[in-house]
Structure 1
Amino acid sequence: MADSCIQNQLTEPGQEGPVTVSISRKVKPGRESEYESWISGVIEAASDYPGHQGSNVLRPSASTGNRYVLIYRFDNYQNCQNWESSALRQEWLDKLEPLIEGDAEVQRGTGLEFWFDLPELPVNKHPSPHKMALVLIAVVYLLIMMINLLLGPYLSDLDLWLKSAIIVTLQVLLMTYLVMPRVTRLLKGWLFK
């Protein structure tokens, strides 16, 4: 049984999909504004690296354990590793020591799981693949239908390739930043059971 489980998880490099990294840190009292400046700088530095797909920052709250959480995404594992092993990133990490307390907590996710992440759940807690597939089929179908109904008249004269690119781009952006966080929270009881 263990072998079949491993076989289902084996992936060729470059086919693993997006990589999402979450790093939470406890900032020393009174150093918050310096830390936020540091975060702005490191995000700007990372954004120039190939494959970078964006960053988010969660400020300290009860749901983050009163820690800052920096979340960044790369399109694949290799590009993420290139950033994480870069001299530029190390320069930024060297500036961090006087601002933080204790060790950072690092979590990683690859593939479709990043659409189903909730900050209050452990990173290794993901829905089963069939539940993710079912939710994604429904969400993708509804979004594509909605986009076609709303924008179809405006896109009808465009080339099929351009029209498809616009629809897919809107669909992915809506799913990543608007729809999936809300759907995941709404269906949390069923998804993570």
Structure 2
Amino acid sequence: MSDPFASGETAGDPALNDPVPTDPVTVSVARKVLPGQESAYEAWLKRVTATASHFPGHLGANVLRPSAATGGEYVLIYRFDTYAHARDWELSAERDALVAEVAPLVEGEAVRKRVTGLEFWFDLPSVPVTAKPPPHKMALVLVVVVFTLVYGLNRLLEPLIGGLPDWLRLLVVIIIQVLLMTYLVMPRVTRLLKGWLYRAA
């Protein structure tokens, strides 16, 4: 069966080829909503995000509403823990029905972008589909961020979890670290370092 991420809306896009099945996946879908259909589209967004949340591996979704930064488009961003789980959602009958339902509310084709692996931590909806930070820059930023978070969390949480078994203490630190990186730290770090990250040199 063909790759659902590379069909129709973004066929031939090199950024969507050769995924690693075990990598986390972030997908953004930008659509231009017809004038007067904004309320109906907002209701549709609630249904599609609620439906996707019931699929295995779903890590959450965000919506960017029309602005200068999005070119006047709605951008739906959703995440799955692996390419395989994201593919299950993309090929589902539930998604097919929702995509058919939204057709009268939008104009033109959706513009899709997918990132995997290290790029998961550096996704910016405003960055062109084909733009990717060099791997050595992503690795350098992640080393600094992970070290800072792990060291800081260990020091901060020591009075609270110091008496726990080593494995449980480590698990608590890792859970908090990953949540902070995903939803708070990396989006801000990526925006702050955008000019440097996306320079070829």
Output the TM-score relative to the length of structure 2: 0.87
Distance 1:67 1:157 in 2: 51
1:57-115 superposed Cα distances (whole Å, 9 cap, x missing partner): 10000111100000111111111111111111111112101111111001111111021
1:10 deviates by 7.1
1:124 deviates by 2.3
Q: 1:142 aligns with which of 141, 144, 148?
A: 148
Q: Is the 8 A contact 1:117 1:123 kept in 2?
A: no
1:38-63 superposed Cα distances (whole Å, 9 cap, x missing partner): 01111110011011111111000011
The one-letter code sitting in structure 1 at the alignment partner of 2:43 is: S
1:109-161 superposed Cα distances (whole Å, 9 cap, x missing partner): 11110211222211321111111111100000001111111111101111222
1:151-166 alignment to 2 at 5 Å?
A: 151-166=157-172
The one-letter code sitting in structure 1 at the alignment partner of 2:31 is: R
Q: 2:34 aligns with which of 5, 28, 33?
A: 28
Q: Please identify, of 132-141 and 149-158, the stretch whose mean Cα deviation from structure 2 is larger.
A: 149-158
User: Which residue of structure 2 lines up, in the alignment, with residue 3 of structure 1?
Assistant: none
Distance 1:126 1:189 in 2: 12
1:155-186 superposed Cα distances (whole Å, 9 cap, x missing partner): 11112222111111111111111111111111
Counterpart secondary structure, 2:130? coil
Distance 2:141 2:35 in 1: 42
Answering whether residue 71 of structure 2 is matched by residue 80 of structure 1, we say: no
1:20 deviates by 0.9
Answering whether residue 195 of structure 2 is matched by residue 189 of structure 1, we say: yes
- Gapped regions of structure 1 (runs ≥ 5): 1-8
Counterpart secondary structure, 1:190? helix
Distance 2:63 2:128 in 1: 17
Answering whether residue 63 of structure 2 is matched by residue 57 of structure 1, we say: yes
Answering whether residue 128 of structure 2 is matched by residue 128 of structure 1, we say: no
1:162-173 alignment to 2 at 5 Å?
A: 162-173=168-179
Distance 1:166 1:42 in 2: 32
Q: Is the 8 A contact 1:22 1:70 kept in 2?
A: yes
Q: Is the 8 A contact 2:28 2:125 kept in 1?
A: no
Answering whether residue 96 of structure 2 is matched by residue 96 of structure 1, we say: no
Q: 1:71 aligns with which of 77, 80, 92?
A: 77
- Gapped regions of structure 2 (runs ≥ 5): 1-16
User: Which residue of structure 1 lines up, in the alignment, with residue 47 of structure 2?
Assistant: 41
Q: Which runs of 4+ in 1 moved over 2 A?
A: none
Answering whether residue 21 of structure 2 is matched by residue 14 of structure 1, we say: yes
Number of corresponding residues: 183
Distance 1:29 1:192 in 2: 35
The one-letter code sitting in structure 2 at the alignment partner of 1:186 is: L
Relative distance call for 1:10 and 1:28 in structure 2 (3 A) is closer
